[in-house]
Structure 1
Amino acid sequence: MSGANEYRPFILALALALALAELIWRRWGLGRGYDLGSAAASLGVMVLGIVPKQIGALVLGTVLFALSWLAPWRMPMDDWRIWVACFLGVELAYYWFHRCSHMIRWFWANHAVHHSANEFVLPSAYRLGWFGPLMGSWLFFAPLVLIGFPPAMVMGLLGINLLYQYLLHTELVGRLGPLEWVLNTPSHHRVHHSREEAYLDCNFGGVVIVFDRLFGTYRAEPEGRRLDYGLVHRLESNNPLRIGLHELGALWHDVLVVPGWRQKVAVLFASPADSERLAESSRA
């Protein structure tokens, strides 16, 4: 993984250059707005998350490498068929991780950061929760190393998955024809980031969209209009600390409000909507 670190400055510079090009295109090419305050807040979330995310990456790597010793065999890294199988395995694991991040409030408390931007532009991709591995995201990828895929392969393909998704956070790329059937595209991901009721909790794929089609969570982008983006309970703040911690704080508050350990567990692991209703009923 140390070799990947050499490319980080180049990747970051390319991401910033693409974001600048998008800003120019939106403002002066399309005459469309661009919220510089929100974009700066997204950068702030990324900067404040450097240390906790480095710790999280260490946790993820340590856990996966430790679990790999329990595997009955280890698959080789020099066979392209193993790479293809691992890619599909990582995509499936990511699909369920992402889906559970919407359906279980414990995981949503971290993932809500990513949906907090009210404008769908490339810098909104920087809004990533700070505590994923510390809150158990490694659980979804552990089965891959337990059946013999090398941890370095799993982590490398997961990194590619996340890098690919940066390019999905834009309104400047339309539909991509036949590729829409297989790949996750900006069109699919715009739907994923919509706060409209008809499009909540769908299109969870990383690089591919096939698992959404298989498991019934695919929704197509409506034609002829733009979607409304952001959280259902819209967050207007551009304070990176508030963006990064607001839903964790709300979850902690709701856990304290409800009586009894059974209800507290329910608040933690119910869906976000059910969890909030349970806490609201306790306050009434």
Structure 2
Amino acid sequence: MPDFPNIILFAIPFFILAMLLELYVTTKQHIKTYESKDALSSIAMGLGNVFLGFASKALVLLIFFWIYDNFRLFTVPVAWWSFVLIFFIDDFSYYWFHRVSHECRLFWASHVVHHSSEHYNLSTALRQTWSGGFYTFIFWLWLPLLGFHPAMILLQMSISLLYQFWIHTEAIDKMPKWFEAVFNTPSHHRVHHGSNPIYLDRNHAGILIIWDRMFGTFQPELKEEKVVYGLVKNIKTYNPIKIAFIEWVNMFNDAFTGKKSIKNRILYLIKPPGWKHDGSGKVSDDLRKEWMDLKQIEK
């Protein structure tokens, strides 16, 4: 078992110092990004994620080791080149996990937590799910199957999470063009957190923005379209319990109450957020098309 450190725990003091620095910088820039109740809710969600992470990581390690010990196709050594390889494979896995988390309501039920703030700052990065760690790991199951050691996988997943902390800020406008072309940046990720129709379900990148460019989900931040943070329909609560589970309650109410066919009940779990069995709902593609049509009429 490789002895890799838990870099997320070591990074907590850095998170605190970075938030204080961001607060100072944005105040100097006259940008109001922090609201005390919202920030405290985000921090509470982050602490809950860390505590529950001990249980979810134990489950994930157990399953990863079961696959690695019994079904791996190769044995990938712990070497410099294998870390380069797992960097790209992990980031590719993250892209599809993140994209599906916006396009399938069962995964959105846990991921919506991260989008529930109407503010955008480094504390928003800490607003993490309490439930997703117990099932979203399925997008990484092919890594132990290929022969990557489970400890390597968890380390790279932590590196990806750590990278994504700094991009949750309005204090940085644009990075150099070459950096914006390859990597996820604050500008790209501001788009991802936007509730504007043009920004919905775009820029799912973890570290590399190349996947969004390759698979047609990239959207640059537009000067003429200021990002409005939050959800299409905001939840309007600072209660961590409600933030963590409100979408689970809403999803199960939609799926298992009222008169619906079994097929439609199942579809409420796998269709995108906003879908309704009677056709009255609108998913992000519908909202984006309406927005584009309106802009075309205005032109």
- Normalising by structure 1, report the TM-score: 0.92
Shift of the alpha carbon at 1:22? 1.2
Indicate if the aligned counterparts of 2:122 and 2:168 stay in contact, CA closer than 8 A. Answer: yes
1:86-235 matches, within 5 Å, as 86-134=86-134, 136-177=135-176, 178-223=178-223, 226-235=226-235
Q: Which amino acid is 1:122 matched to?
A: L
Indicate if the aligned counterparts of 1:254 and 1:279 stay in contact, CA closer than 8 A. Answer: no
Indicate if the aligned counterparts of 2:8 and 2:158 stay in contact, CA closer than 8 A. Answer: no
Q: What is the distance in 1 between the residues matched to 2:190 and 2:8?
A: 26
Q: What is the distance in 2 between the residues matched to 1:247 and 1:64?
A: 29
* Runs (5+) with no aligned partner, structure 1: none
SS of 2:148's partner is coil
Q: What is the distance in 2 between the residues matched to 1:2 and 1:267?
A: 43
Greater Cα shift, 81-90 or 251-260: 251-260
Superposed CA deviations along residues 171-192 of structure 1, whole A, max 9, x for unmatched, are 0111112100111011100000
Q: Which amino acid is 1:169 matched to?
A: H
Superposed CA deviations along residues 175-213 of structure 1, whole A, max 9, x for unmatched, are 112100111011100000000001100111101111111
Instruction: Specify the alignment match of 2:295 in structure 1.
Output: none
Q: Which amino acid is 2:262 matched to?
A: W
Instruction: Specify the alignment match of 1:72 in structure 2.
Output: 73
Shift of the alpha carbon at 1:143? 0.9
Indicate if the aligned counterparts of 2:181 and 2:209 stay in contact, CA closer than 8 A. Answer: yes
Q: What is the distance in 2 between the residues matched to 1:187 and 1:159?
A: 22
Q: What is the distance in 2 between the residues matched to 1:8 and 1:161?
A: 10
- Normalising by structure 2, report the TM-score: 0.87
Shift of the alpha carbon at 1:155? 1.3
Change (3 A) 1:52 1:9: closer
Instruction: Specify the alignment match of 1:30 in structure 2.
Output: 29
Q: CA RMSD in A?
A: 1.9
Change (3 A) 1:261 1:53: farther
SS of 2:218's partner is coil
Instruction: Specify the alignment match of 1:51 in structure 2.
Output: 51
Q: What is the distance in 2 between the residues matched to 1:50 and 1:260?
A: 39
Instruction: Specify the alignment match of 2:268 in structure 1.
Output: 267
Superposed CA deviations along residues 4-45 of structure 1, whole A, max 9, x for unmatched, are 23x555411110111111112222x02222211100111111
Q: What is the distance in 2 between the residues matched to 1:272 and 1:105?
A: 5
SS of 2:170's partner is coil
Change (3 A) 1:82 1:8: closer
Q: What is the distance in 2 between the residues matched to 1:25 and 1:3?
A: 34
Greater Cα shift, 182-191 or 57-66: 57-66
Change (3 A) 1:9 1:217: closer
Q: What is the distance in 1 between the residues matched to 2:278 and 2:108?
A: 16
Shift of the alpha carbon at 1:251? 0.9
Q: What is the distance in 1 between the residues matched to 2:231 and 2:98?
A: 16
* Runs (5+) with no aligned partner, structure 2: 282-299
Q: What is the distance in 2 between the residues matched to 1:166 and 1:261?
A: 41
> Runs ≥4 in structure 1, deviation > 6 angstroms?
279-282
Q: Which amino acid is 1:226 matched to?
A: K
Superposed CA deviations along residues 255-278 of structure 1, whole A, max 9, x for unmatched, are 22253432221111111121xx22
Shift of the alpha carbon at 1:240? 1.2
SS of 2:164's partner is helix
Shift of the alpha carbon at 1:281? 6.4
